[in-house]
Amino acid sequence: MGLVNMYNRRRVLAMPVGAAILAAGMLVGSGIVANADDAKPITIGYSTYTVENPAFAGIIQGMKSQAEKFGYKFLIANSNNSASQQIADIESLISQGANYVIVTPADGAAVTPAVKHADDAGVPVIAIADHVVAPVTATYSMDHVEGGKLAGEEVVKYLTKKYGSPKGNVVNIQGIAGIVATAQRDQGFVDVLSKYPDIKIVASADGGFNTDKANEVMTAILQAQPEIDAVYGANDAETYGVITAIKAAGRFQPVGQPDHIYTIGIDGSAPGINGIRNGSQDATVSQQFIKMGIMMMDNIHAKETGAAKDIPSVVWPLMVITADNINSDEVKTYGIWADDVK
């Protein structure tokens, strides 16, 4: 990305991601790493567009743990937000003998040539955490529209409680332009708020799913907007950047205070969970990256061993986590994946 993530500098985000990548092996070439005996018969290749987002620590951990369990070779390629590099990475994974290619796309449409190449080579492609436009074997992801919708509903609840009716000024910090998850999360959020004419989205900006970029754009928005009631970040890394910008501007008040600016993110990653626990963030719409990676690998193994004919797609259920329910039995049953990242 060319940016040093602010949350990384505080080590809470960087350590799990770094540990996951270092445990996988040594970086080579364009960022491909291997972590299993070359003699193992099944090779799983994972192509992602970043490892800076804390969500990817969970994805990698879940897949890697099962690859080790089944004796599979596990390769990782990080394209650093470059769609063209990701195409090259996928082709490299195929040339290295990947039996399956797992993709979290930098651009769900741009990656199409690589998906076709894999298909021509007889290599199944599975999308994880986001969607690929071209037909793939399976997709493991949340419903991104639903995630944005849930976040929007939480903002409406807060504003209604604050003012007695749904009204107020909201900032929308979007994800990376061109990514399917960005468009769908934004769609869900905006669709909810559009039902309430007295709720105004006073600013929208691309936060890049990144703490530093979200901090930068939010700093500019705070200078232009003297009255802000709530901010939606398309993921928790962005929301953390938003909160740090609010603090730097001298406009931060803890959750529950009269002048508090409500903040909500998506993913349930460490920045969001820690923020909820320390009173700086109001809520996150959580999914389960570790379990998602585990289930996907389990289903690949079931196909390989003949226990299943096909690899099914999975839409992962979501849960809104707040200070009011974070210690509840319901959340404990659902799980907080950020607490399980090693």
Chain mean pLDDT for the chain = 89
- Amino acid letter for position 9: R
Locus of tokens 């741009």: 110
**Tokens describing residue 124:** 């199944």
Please provide the size of the chain in residues: 342
Rounding to the nearest 10 degrees, give the CA dihedral for residues 205, 209, 213, 218: 50
Q: Parallel, antiparallel, or unpaired: how do β-strands 100-104 and 125-128 relate?
A: parallel
CATH superfamily of 6-142+288-317: Response regulator (3.40.50.2300)
CATH class of the domain defined by 144-286: alpha beta
DSSP E strand stretches across the chain:
33-34, 43-48, 73-78, 100-104, 125-128, 138-142, 168-174, 199-206, 230-233, 262-267, 283-286, 314-316, 319-322
Q: How many Å apart are CA 128 and CA 294, to the nearest integer?
A: 11
Q: How many Å apart are CA 184 and CA 179, to the nearest integer?
A: 9
Tell me whether domains 6-142+288-317 and 144-286 share a fold: yes
Is the model's pLDDT at 35 over the cut of 60? Answer: no
Q: How many Å apart are CA 127 and CA 100, to the nearest integer?
A: 11
Q: How many Å apart are CA 64 and CA 179, to the nearest integer?
A: 25
- 33 pLDDT band, cuts 50/70/90, is very low
Helix (H, G, I), strand (E, B), or coil: what is residue 180?
helix
CB 123 within 8 A of CB 299: no
Edge-first strand listing for the sheet containing 319-322: 199-206, 168-174, 230-233, 262-267, 283-286, 319-322
Domain residue spans of the chain? 6-142+288-317, 144-286
User: What pLDDT, on the 0 to 100 scale, is given for residue 150?
Assistant: 98
The tens digit of pLDDT for each residue in 192-220 reads 999 999 999 999 999 999 999 999 999 99
**Tokens describing residue 249:** 């501007």
The predicted model scores a pTM of 0.87
Is the model's pLDDT at 274 over the cut of 50? Answer: yes
Mean pLDDT in residue range 67-92 = 96
